[in-house]
Amino acid sequence: MYLEARARAALTGVLSALRVPSPEQIPIERPPRPEFGDLTTRISYLLAKPMRKSPEEIARTLAAKLSEHPDFEQVRAERGFVNLRFRPEVVWETLRTILKQGDAYGRQALGKGKRLQVEFVSSNPTGPLTVGHGRQAALGDVLAELFSQLGWEVTREYYLNDEGRQIDLLAQSLWARYRQALGEDQPLPEGGYQGDYLIPIGEELARSWGDRYPEWDAEAQTVFRKQAVDRMMRMIKEDLEAIGVRFDVWTREGDLHRRGLVKETLEELRRRGAVYEKDGALWMRSTQYGLARDPVLVRSDGTPTYLMVDIAYHVDKYRRGFDRVIDVQGADHAEEQKQVKLALRILGLPEEFLDYCVHQFVTLKGGEGVERMSTRAGHFIRLGDLIRELGRDVVRYFMVMRRPESHLAFDYELAKKTSMDNPVYYVQYAHTRIASIFREAEKTGELPPAFSHPTELDLSPLTDPAELALIKELDRFPDVLVQAAGFAPHLLCEYLEGVAALFHPYYARVRVLGQGRATPARLALLAGVRLVLRRGLSILGVSAPEEM
């Protein structure tokens, strides 16, 4: 972005000299091929109409003026585009800027301190987290960190659905396992939870309580409901800890009911004419606003639907003072997402208040390891088991390295490799190799003073095309963070792999130590690469090891 800012400033100056009004945003991009230059602009196409000239003619005029600018080594007009190549001195100044900023490099103030809530995972407490939940956990956590880097005050939140029929079925299923542990032939309830994860809990309760609850009555329901939710939440928190996710706020559905917010929200929708009664139930007039169907908000037995509670929950978020809310959800919630956004619009909330980061599902492909984990859990693969098999770094990286909108086939055989075939190790090895060079430089006495005064660095030995290419790639880091925050954290993975792909051949070909005045300059370059790799991996929640 330093290079982009220099290019934009030069273009603004030329337009001013030509007395041409500058567009509000001057488009500057990376060209599709490096031989076209470092940056390119299509501004000629934006100026064609007001200047009443062809883009090609305007591009030639701009190129002639920009060729006189001291920042550029080469400026060429091609098919209406203006392609720019910087002088090495400008590229070296980019590296100085990166080193000067240090760990603040990439941080921006785009959020201006506004409050953002990211709600993710929010799995019902009916069982441990599965591999599918792992994608949402990693996506939500990385998105939250990206927005934090961009200047938002971020709150990570988990919504705990601890009410309703599913919780009742879980409680009765646990009671059945408890009775089975006491030797009774007690079947699981119809629609109950078949997972083996309830068996050891039932056995533990049987040892502790004996025959205290022989019947499934109101007392047993209350007791086993609490036990079931508490035990499941303990398992969920274990899995979240394993993947490195911690929430700032845990909101329980039961609290929304007790505070009367669900009833209050329903009454406000009714007051605004958005609710009608049919067959003893209450429905929202969604088709009146262009949606495909009218959903039920309150069933005929008087219990609110999940949708009704979710609407009230988002009203609660707004009242808590968040400027923006992002929900990370699976693609199977698409219809409900439209209904919630409609309800909030009817209630007068800003259209931009709620966004959804939608992701597709995860399938785990592999060999014996996958089969072993599946057998251990019963009918699913527990997220914690996958992390224990592969490690947190690998699981987090693999969960975000593909577009959220695309189906993720988690390649277990690739993930368990500890070679550079594994993309996370490929990036980490780059950081490790740089760390080893710095350790060796310290031993040989070639390590210069800390790069606390980068303006004094002599970077003129950095003339190798690979060195200049690395610096130009490091310059992209702040922009990549902005792009990745657009619900595309996979772009950060691709970027880090691209930096590593430039570094590894350079490492194999170029000697850093023992090269006289070139050594401090090359160490400065590697310090910049190490900084960006460490910063990027940290945002992904992945370690940047010194040794591997």
Tell me if 287 is assigned to some domain.
yes
My answer on whether 149 and 82 are in the same domain is: no
My answer on whether 261 and 340 are in the same domain is: yes
My answer on whether 285 and 311 are in the same domain is: yes
Q: What is the pLDDT of residue 374?
A: 43
Collect all residues with Cβ–Cβ distance below 8 Å to 523 and sequence separation of at least 6.
Answer: 437, 438, 441, 446, 447, 448, 512
My answer on whether 134 and 264 are in the same domain is: yes
Amino acid at 80: G
Residues in a beta bridge with 160: 252
Residue where one domain finishes, among candidates 243, 263, 285: 243
Q: What is the pLDDT of residue 17?
A: 92
Average of pLDDT values for 1-12?
A: 94
- How far apart, in whole angstroms, are the C-alpha atoms of residue 276 and residue 65? 67
Tell me if 129 is assigned to some domain.
yes
My answer on whether 308 and 368 are in the same domain is: no
Instruction: Compute the chain's Rg from CA coordinates.
Output: 29
My answer on whether 461 and 530 are in the same domain is: yes
The DSSP output letter for 194 is -
3-class secondary structure per residue, 371-419: HHHHHHHCCCCEHHHHHHHHCHHHHHHHHHCCCCCCCEEEEHHHHCCCC
Is 0.85 topped by the overall pTM? Answer: yes
pLDDT tens per residue across span 311-350: 999 999 999 999 999 999 999 999 999 999 999 999 999 9
Write down the mean pLDDT value for the chain: 93
My answer on whether 234 and 286 are in the same domain is: no
pLDDT tens per residue across span 198-237: 999 999 999 999 999 999 999 999 999 999 999 999 999 9
pLDDT tens per residue across span 19-35: 988 888 899 999 988 88
Tell me if 461 is assigned to some domain.
yes
pLDDT tens per residue across span 103-162: 999 999 999 999 999 999 998 888 889 998 999 999 999 999 999 999 999 999 999 987
**Dihedral over alpha carbons 339, 343, 348, 354 (to 10 degrees):** -40
Question: Has residue 412 got a pLDDT over 90?
Answer: yes
Domain that holds residue 455: 420-539
What token pair was written down for 293? 């169907």
The DSSP output letter for 331 is G
Q: What is the pLDDT of residue 429?
A: 98
CATH label of the domain that carries residue 514: 1.10.730.10
My answer on whether 284 and 378 are in the same domain is: no
Q: What is the pLDDT of residue 457?
A: 85
- How far apart, in whole angstroms, are the C-alpha atoms of residue 474 and residue 338? 40
My answer on whether 178 and 129 are in the same domain is: no
Question: Has residue 305 got a pLDDT over 50?
Answer: yes
Provide the 3-class DSSP secondary structure of residue 34.
helix
- Structurally, the chain folds into a number of domains equal to 5
pLDDT tens per residue across span 40-53: 999 999 999 989 99
Provide the 3-class DSSP secondary structure of residue 97.
helix
Amino acid at 461: P
Provide the 3-class DSSP secondary structure of residue 250.
strand
CA angle 196, 197, 198 (to 5 degrees): 90
Q: What is the pLDDT of residue 23?
A: 83
Q: What is the DSSP secondary-structure string of 102-142?
A: GGGTT---TTTT-EEEEE-----SSS--BHHHHHHHHHHHH
pLDDT band at residue 449, thresholds of 50, 70 and 90? confident
Considering only CA atoms, which of 373, 350, 507 is closest in space to residue 432? 507
Provide the 3-class DSSP secondary structure of residue 369.
helix
- Contact predicate 120/136, CB 8 Å: yes
Q: What is the pLDDT of residue 367?
A: 61
- How far apart, in whole angstroms, are the C-alpha atoms of residue 195 and residue 221? 19
CA distances from 6 to 64, 87, 455, 462 (A): 17, 12, 18, 20
pLDDT band at residue 377, thresholds of 50, 70 and 90? very low
- Find where tokens 């406000």 sit: 268
pLDDT tens per residue across span 259-304: 999 999 999 999 999 999 999 999 999 999 999 999 999 999 999 9
